[in-house]
Structure formats: structure tokens, C-alpha cells
Amino acid sequence: MKTILVTLKAFLLLTLVTGVIYPVLITGIVQLIFPEKAGGSLIIRDSIVIGSKLTGQEFSSPGYFSPRPSSNSYNPLPSGGSNFGPTNTKQLNQVDERRKQFIYRNHPDTLKDVPSEMLFASASGLDPHISRESAMMQVDRVSQERGFDDAQRQKLIQCIDNLTEAPQFLILGEERLNVLLLNLETDKIK
């Protein structure tokens, strides 16, 4: 009986420390030091939340840059990949359909030129980034849909250059662009 009481007290103490005190303390510290990041890196325009820098979202209009596909329709609650294997028929059909759509919309030089991130959803299904290569392949479509002249098209390419992020710590990952930020900058081109 004595062992059970000691175990129960230890359990309650550890639950209080690790389940209440520690999370509240860390949350408070992070909100003081990194308020924007702790709040979800939300982008607000005219008092309206239009998205987050951390989560991908759908852009179906041809006048916008297309994001990486999502296996969960960019829903952050059940985030995750499809878990289909590389030989799964449904996966192969999705990739084939995405390839056809990208080719139809963007007219790459060859069928092999479609970047892999435009064919495969990320592991979370929420990746907000595409490669610089993917963005550059969409410039003609976006420019044409918006009726951009050559000067505006050059501004669009300059936006891509300015928003291209280096690999994390200069070694992890690849150059990438946040699609939401790119589309917001595209809207500013007059």
C-alpha cells in the first residue's frame, strides 16, 4: 500500500510539472521572445488573417503561382502524407494527373522537366514552399494571365529572386520560396 501511495504522489507531481508548469512556462517565454512565431507566423492584411507563412494553401486561379500538392487539402489538423508506397496505383495515378496538369498549365520544355515537388505531396501535406525552378516555370503563365508586359514580367522575376530563401544553415535542404508570400508580392505588381 505504501508503494502505491508513493507511486501515485510521484505520478501526480510529474504530471503537474511536465503537463502544466513546464508547458505554461515555455509558452510564456516563447511568446515574449518570438511573439510572431508563437502566434503561428500569421499574415494579416486589413485586420484579416489571410494565411500563415508556415502552412501551404490552395491557389487555383491561373494568375497565381501553384503550391506543392497536398494529400490532405492543406488541412493542418490531420496533417500527414498519404502513406502510399511508390508502386501504389492510386499514388501513380495522382502523380500522372499532377504531371499532366502542370504540363497543360505551364508548358515546360520536356515532360521530364516537371519538378518533383510539383508531383508529390510533402510528408505533412502542408509545405508552403516550392523550389525556385518551379516558380520560374510558372512565370510565363502568371504573367500571361495577369496581362503583364515585359517590365512587369521582369519585376515578377525580381520578386522570385528577392524571396528565394537559402538552405537552412546553408546546408540543410534547397533554395525555396514561400508561395503565399510570392503571390502577395505578385499582387503588388502594377
DSSP 8-state symbol, 167 = P
Closest CA to 43 of 189, 170, 178, 149: 178
- Cα–Cα distance, 167 to 133 (Å, whole number): 14
Q: What percent of the chain has pLDDT over 70?
A: 98
Strand partners, 178: 129
N-terminal to C-terminal alpha carbon distance within the chain: 77
Which pTM does this prediction carry?
0.79
Cell triple for 85: 508506397
Distances (CA, A) of 30 to 1, 24, 150, 172: 42, 10, 45, 24
- Cα–Cα distance, 55 to 1 (Å, whole number): 51
Residue pair 141/105 in contact by the 8 Å Cβ criterion: yes
Q: What percent of the chain has pLDDT over 90?
A: 56
Residue pair 178/163 in contact by the 8 Å Cβ criterion: yes
pLDDT score at 129: 93
- Cα–Cα distance, 18 to 41 (Å, whole number): 26
pLDDT band, residue 76 (cuts 50/70/90):
confident
| Phi, psi dihedral angles at 141 (to 5 degrees) | -65, -50
The answer to which of 65-69, 99-103, 108-112 has the lowest mean pLDDT is 108-112
One DSSP character per residue, 43-90 reads EEETTEEEEETTS-----STTS------TTTT-STT-------TT-HH
Strand partners, 42: 52
pLDDT score at 10: 95
* Res 33 pLDDT > 80: yes
